A and B are shown apart, each in its own frame.
Chain A
């Protein structure tokens, strides 16, 4: 029996195990939405903006490891998800985006709501296809999911013209993909792995540097095993957080631009760097010519282009991180069996790192009048018993969260790393909450980022999703303001947000509980009330607008040359009263 393209679409999703689709309807996808609403097995989450749909799907995918699915219309529907696609591409998030397209006979005619979806998305997708014939639809969908989720994951866009969704074809879901040009390497080269093991046994000052690849490969157990049998300290990139418990004695937390002092010093002095699913991003390396000057480099990554792209690798291993680490751990265990011996051999290195840690721990000055953002994150970390799924936006609050919220599990840390997309955090939290209705999901955000996608509060409200929005409201684009203070002589060009909405009233307008904390003593009660509330909550916490995030490697600086506190001239400016905030509600920050 022949069925329509729209029915083929829905059936294909069912075969792929898709339960949730994030999207928004429009002219050319009406047929698909019509079929979708008659089915009970797929839940359509109606977002209020397509960008929200894309980020929700990302949050869903990051939290579950399964592909997030987006369904939007042609033209503006598609262009609105471009940011989400680019974000997913940078952070290797498996996403399958279905976009509507005008009928095939109208393509190229500048038809109403026509855009070159495939052309626009080409540089920000792993793969994309225009479906020209309904008979190809099922095969293309099968391949889209396969490509999105295998190898180095990424977004795939499938463009479905209106007439393809209404045309009829026999439906049979293919059982295999037919992609002769796509065959990611999984198992690593045995010789290379053996060499890596030898390097590890020889090294005096080794360090494991874990990136987002470890999260997508579910390699947490293997990393832990590697660290424990070899007693090698582990540092994580922003994307890798959670893949090794932040509370583990061998954890050095995050490295890079805002990484801890001891972590970057350890990197700088290491004699062996074991890079696991990481890509030597500029926010990690700082000045490349002075990055890890003494280290031999073992680089494990499923994507061959990540290897030797920016930094050399002495022992490149192309393969799935989990599979390679398993092979590596087997060799390591057979090489040296005495844990006490290994521990003793590693002691001077660990001791050295501890000394750096003691010299300059992560710290901030508590204040009794203004709320320090770090304090809020610390309290939040304690109150949630370290178990929540945390989604963040982009900026200072993100870095504070990365420093002070020590995730213990993979897939509990959802953040926009590569693209640095403000507006990512809140929809991503909704996506994660939909995937895990029973778990506690926090969205740590700030007034700047939150306002970029706040319309999705409706989704949290109507679905009673208990997302806890912790809004660190300092009235400024904090990271921009920090750079302006440090490198632009304090000229706050467009970083002071001025007029601010009343976030509590805003939350209430959307049917969400709004709470506010203005002084440090109000933080704890507000957090407790918010976390204890059954439904969605927005906690508007007014934090110090002039708090800076340290340590900091200035852009282009070497990793061991960190700024640890405000430079003297900035301290002086702050003392002079230039930096004062008017705490009146809704007033934001007044310039000096």
Chain B
């Protein structure tokens, strides 16, 4: 096989990856992880952090985009951080991902029914209301959340907040075969 550098124009196939990073629940760890992305020019599309069952650890979920080479580097670089305990690219397995959004929509009197109907269709909840607004809570995968937002746009969205995505692997009978050499990764 002929030698080849990776960045040549024929290849890069950029794909979205959801990476779960189990870290020590200590201060400064998030900064180190986030700093690693910015220092090396990797993207963070979304980020969420919270403690796990074990209060000494936290789970960081990062959605990023890159070709295979970049994702491999991201995984290895993350593994190198002393406080990082485990890194999983969920995109290589079967997984579930969810996001929650809180959407505050303007509701003119003639729109209040429409807003309730939309919330119903998307199985969303109205969690707050005022004379001129509803605040709708929706949870789902990213397509569902975005579809809901698009449907609400004509009513006029006053404020919108999204949690960023979290994900978990599925306990199915079969999982996709791992594409990377396990020898290179921290177990």
Contacts and interface: CB of A to CB of B under 8 A. Distances in A.
Interface string A311-335: 1101010100000000000000000
B33 to A, nearest CB: 11
B85 A180 contact: yes
A189 B80 contact: no
Interface string A105-147: 0000000000000110011001110100000000000000001
B24 A181 contact: yes
B3 A181 contact: no
Determine which residue in A122, A128, A293 has the highest number of CB atoms from chain B within 10 A of its CB, and name it.
Answer: A122
A305 B80 contact: yes
B39 interface: yes
Contacts of B28: 118, 122, 128, 130
Contacts of A295: 3
A288 B7 contact: yes
A307 interface: yes
B81 A181 contact: yes
Contacts of B1: 296, 314
Contact of B3 (A122, A128, A292): A292
Interface residues of B, number: 33
A293 B185 CA distance: 28
A289 B84 contact: no
Nearest to B77: A305
B80 A303 contact: yes
Contacts of A294: 2-3
B82 A316 contact: no
Determine which residue in B3, B27, B39, B76 has the highest number of CB atoms from chain A within 10 A of its CB, and name it.
Answer: B3
A559 to B, nearest CB: 12
A366 interface: no
Which applies to chain B's interface (DSSP): helix, strand, loop or mixed?
A: mixed
B79 interface: yes
A304 interface: yes
Given A147-B82, A192-B183, A293 B77 contact: no
B137 to A, nearest CB: 35
A289 B184 contact: no
A114 B3 CA distance: 51
B181 A316 contact: yes
A182 B32 CA distance: 15
Contacts of A181: 23-24, 81-85, 186
A113 B79 CA distance: 34
Contact of A304 (B5, B35, B76, B85): B76
A179 B186 CA distance: 13
A308 interface: yes
Contacts of A312: 3-6
Interface in A290-304: 291-297, 303-304
Contact of A305 (B6, B73, B83): B73
Given A181-B82, A316-B184, A123 B35 contact: yes
Contacts of A305: 73, 76-77, 80
A291 B3 CA distance: 8
Contacts, number: 75
B8 interface: yes
Nearest to B27: A130
Interface in B163-187: 181, 183-186
B182 to A, nearest CB: 10
Contacts of A128: 28
B147 interface: no
Given A304-B79, A308-B72, A318-B184, A122 B85 contact: no
B184 A182 contact: no
B105 to A, nearest CB: 39
Interface in B31-87: 31-32, 35, 39, 69, 72-73, 76-77, 79-85
Nearest to A129: B28
A470 to B, nearest CB: 37
Given A147-B82, A316-B181, A318-B183, A311 B5 contact: yes
A304 B184 contact: yes
Contacts of B84: 181
Given A293-B3, A304-B184, A119 B31 contact: yes
A183 interface: yes
23 contacts: A130-B28, A180-B85, A181-B23, A181-B83, A181-B186, A189-B183, A192-B183, A289-B4, A289-B5, A289-B8, A291-B3, A291-B5, A292-B3, A297-B3, A303-B80, A304-B76, A305-B73, A305-B76, A305-B77, A307-B184, A312-B4, A316-B181, A318-B184
| Across the A-B interface, the 3 shortest Cβ-Cβ residue pairs | A288-B5, A305-B76, A181-B85
Interface of A: 118-119, 122-123, 126-128, 130, 147, 179-183, 189, 192, 288-289, 291-297, 303-305, 307-312, 314, 316, 318
Given A291-B5, A305-B80, A316-B184, 5 more contacts: A123-B39, A179-B82, A289-B4, A311-B6, A316-B183
Interface of B: 1-8, 23-24, 27-28, 31-32, 35, 39, 69, 72-73, 76-77, 79-85, 181, 183-186
